[in-house]
Every structure is written in C-alpha cells, then in structure tokens.
C-alpha cells in the first residue's frame, strides 16, 4: 500500500509539474501567432508582426474608418469636425502580448511634440512588463519625425512574460508593428475580465501633458484596477454635446467617468442634466461618476456641477456619483501641472490615487 501511495504521489507531482510548465511556456500555446505571417528582416533577424493580429485594447467600436480610430466610422457625419479629427488620435489604445523574446522592437507612425508636452507623450509608445503580478514600466519609444523603427529593449532573459504596449496619446497611427528575434514566439493576451471603464472629457483625459502614454491617469487606473479603459478624451472639445452623449450611450461599461469642467467651465450646470439623461435612456443602472475640477479658481463651476448632481439624485437617479476636486492633485494644485491646467506625471499619479477608491467602490459586484 505504501509503495502504491508513493507511485500515485509521484505521478501526481509529475502531472502537476507538466501542467505548470505548459501553462507558463508560450511555445506550447495554441494562440501563438503564425511566424509565417511575420515580415522578416533578414539583416537584423527580426520578425515583425502587425499589431492588428494581436488585437488592440481600448476601442469602444469595431466599425471604425481606420483601425486605430476611437469613434465609429458613422460618427464622421454626426460629431463636429474637431471631435472627429481628435478621434483619430490613438489615446488609450494598447496591446497586450506574451513573448519569450530576448528583445522587443516597435515600428509606428512618427510625429513630434507640443510646446508644453513631450514628444514621447504626444507621439511615443510605452512598454510595460508584468512582474510578480504588477505592471512595471520598462521603456519608452522616442518618436522620430515620420516613421519610427527602433529596439525598445534588449538583453531580456528570454523567459515567457506578459507585456503591455501603449500607443501615442495625440498622434495618429496607421500601422504599428512589434518586432522580436526570429524564432521567438508572440501570442495575444486576453483583456482583463469585466466591463470597461469609459472616460469622457478634455485634453486632461486624453493625456495632456503626460511625458509618456502610460502615465495618463486613465492608463494608470487601468493597470491598478486591472480593467480595460476606453479613453474618449478630446482635447479642447469635451463639450458634453448631445451627439457625443448618444455615442457614449451605445457603450456598455462598468462605469462612465464624465470630466468636462476644463472645457465647459460654468456651463457645466446646464449641460450635465441633458448628458446624463441621454445616457440613462439606454443605461439606466450604469454608474456615472461626475468629476469636479482640481483648481481652486473653478470653485463656481464645481458648485454648479454639485447643484446639477443634487437635482438629478433628487429626481431619482440612484447610480449617479460625484468626485470632489479638493484633493484631485493631492493638495499640490498648480504645482502638479505644466501650465496651471494640464497635469505633469506627478499630477496624473495624484489624480489616479484620488480616482482609485471611488472607482473601486463602483466596480464592486455587490449592491451599493
């Protein structure tokens, strides 16, 4: 009997070890991309894969005019031209993948910076790796004027790891490729479980003025909360228009975050009710988080938003919430900004810390 138990125990350990090995190694995954679909650069022995074969995370609609657009193709005839043009920016879009490569390269449409924002944020890409269950910044891709092709990192251990590549915040991209040494494997990674978080707002929501794409607060929160994020920030054009509200209502998120005071100022009081009511026609129970402005000089706008919020709650909206602006920048106010309005990386980190407990509450799967 003892011999039989030892045999059974040994067999169980062998099977468990095999299962762990198989699950950890991308070389045995059925989802590995076919190397035959890669573009091989024989000079550098690099296999280039079109990111579209991995799937891009953060798109609210699949029926887009161009693959990396943020609004559906039909929106061109619905929204104002500036909103449509900004929807061509790839803010919030990212790619998850698994590879055992010893080096990772990227190729994408180039571009520059802005007078108050680094080119790495406007037009760069941003690579993260998951270590011990947490996302860690790895490298930023510094953009060139037209097309950028460069090695983001080399001398990796060659062990299977999960990576996250953020696309530019303000640049328009038409073709993005990931390059790995020929012979290494590349596989898509499923997006996080649960419905996404939808952010609608201004240039701050879009990511201005983060130094790199992964430092915009919606991206930070996506990593911290392990959620897909749909970034619908439109620089200078988060005007709470009915046409945009109708598009928002087409989505089915876990939470809507509405953060438009920097663009609408004191009009926030009269615009909030109509926007919420349009969303409520389709999404009567989805939590909506209204966000005050962080700057003391917007105190009147914040007061008007609170009044609009209170009226809607009094009228029976049980899933409307308000995030106060008092501590959005951790008490640093303009010190955490580039120009008294747009956050620095410090500002975005402070904003993410302020948003996190509110979103954790709204994402709980229990009755609130």
pLDDT one digit per residue (tens) for the chain, 368 residues: 443 343 334 334 333 333 333 334 444 455 899 999 999 999 999 999 999 999 999 999 999 999 999 999 999 999 999 999 999 999 999 999 999 999 999 999 989 999 999 999 999 999 999 999 999 999 999 999 899 999 999 999 999 999 999 999 999 999 999 999 999 999 999 999 999 999 999 999 999 999 999 999 999 999 999 999 999 999 999 999 999 999 999 999 999 999 999 999 999 999 999 999 999 999 999 999 999 999 877 899 999 999 999 999 999 999 999 999 988 998 887 899 999 999 999 999 999 999 999 999 999 975 44
Q: For 152-239, where are the alpha helices, taking DSSP H only?
A: 203-206, 217-225
Complete domains list, the chain, with CATH: 35-56+93-188 (2.60.120.260), 197-362 (3.40.50.1110)
Distance CA 157, CA 144 (A): 28
- Which of left, alpha, beta for 213 (phi over 0: left; psi -120 to 50: alpha)? alpha
Q: Which of 355, 278, 276 is CA-nearest to residue 319?
A: 276
Tokens standing for 273?
Answer: 């009710």
Report the residue count for the chain.
368
Phi then psi dihedrals of residue 92, to 5 deg = 85, -15
pLDDT at 298: 85
CB-based contacts of 255, cutoff 8 Å, min separation 6: 197, 198, 286, 287, 288, 289, 359, 362, 363
Considering the entire predicted model, what is its pTM? 0.91
> Helix, strand or coil for residue 115?
coil
CB-based contacts of 53, cutoff 8 Å, min separation 6: 33, 37, 188
Q: For 260-344, where are the alpha helices, taking DSSP H only?
A: 261-264, 268-282, 299-314
8 Å CB contact between 208 and 342: yes
pLDDT at 30: 58
pLDDT at 334: 86
The DSSP-derived string for 159-172 is S-EEEEEEPPSS--
8 Å CB contact between 38 and 49: yes
**Which whole-number Å values give the CA distances from 204 to 5, 80, 136, 253, in the listed order?**
63, 20, 23, 21
Distance CA 46, CA 150 (A): 11
Strands 197-201 and 255-259: parallel
Residue pointed to by tokens 């030892």: 6
């Amino acid at each position: 009997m003892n011999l039989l138990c030892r045999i059974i125990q040994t067999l169980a350990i062998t099977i468990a070890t095999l299962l762990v090995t198989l699950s950890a190694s991308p070389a045995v995954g059925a989802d590995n991309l076919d190397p035959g679909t890669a573009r091989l650069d024989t000079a550098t022995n690099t296999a280039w894969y079109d990111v579209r074969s991995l799937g891009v995370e953060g798109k609210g609609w699949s029926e887009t005019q161009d693959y990396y657009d943020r609004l559906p193709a039909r929106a061109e005839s619905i929204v104002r031209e500036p909103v449509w043009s900004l929807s061509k920016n790839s803010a919030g879009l990212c790619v998850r993948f698994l590879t055992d490569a010893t080096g990772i390269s990227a190729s994408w449409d180039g571009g520059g910076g802005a007078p108050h924002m680094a080119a790495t944020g406007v037009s760069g890409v941003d690579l993260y790796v998951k270590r011990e269950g947490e996302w860690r910044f790895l490298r930023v891709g510094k953009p060139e004027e037209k097309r950028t092709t460069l090695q983001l990192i080399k001398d990796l251990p060659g062990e299977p790891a999960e990576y996250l590549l953020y696309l530019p915040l303000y640049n328009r991209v038409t073709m993005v490729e990931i390059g790995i040494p020929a012979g290494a494997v590349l596989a898509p990674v499923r997006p996080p479980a649960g419905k996404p978080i939808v952010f609608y707002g201004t240039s701050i929501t879009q990511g201005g003025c983060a130094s790199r794409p992964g430092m915009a607060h919606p991206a930070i929160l996506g990593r911290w909360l392990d959620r897909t994020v749909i970034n619908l920030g439109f620089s200078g054009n988060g005007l709470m228009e009915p046409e945009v509200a109708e598009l928002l209502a087409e989505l089915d998120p876990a939470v809507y975050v509405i953060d438009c005071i920097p663009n609408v100022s004191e009009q926030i009081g009269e615009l909030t009710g109509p926007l919420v009511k349009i969303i409520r026609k389709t999404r009567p129970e989805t939590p909506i988080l209204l966000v005050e402005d962080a700057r003391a000089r917007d105190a009147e706008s914040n007061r008007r938003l609170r009044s609009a919020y209170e009226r809607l709650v009094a009228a029976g909206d049980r899933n409307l919430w308000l995030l106060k602006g008092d501590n959005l920048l951790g008490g640093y106010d303009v010190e955490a900004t580039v120009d008294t309005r747009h956050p620095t990386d410090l500002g975005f980190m402070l904003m993410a810390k302020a948003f996190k407990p509110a979103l954790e509450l709204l994402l709980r799967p229990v009755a609130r």
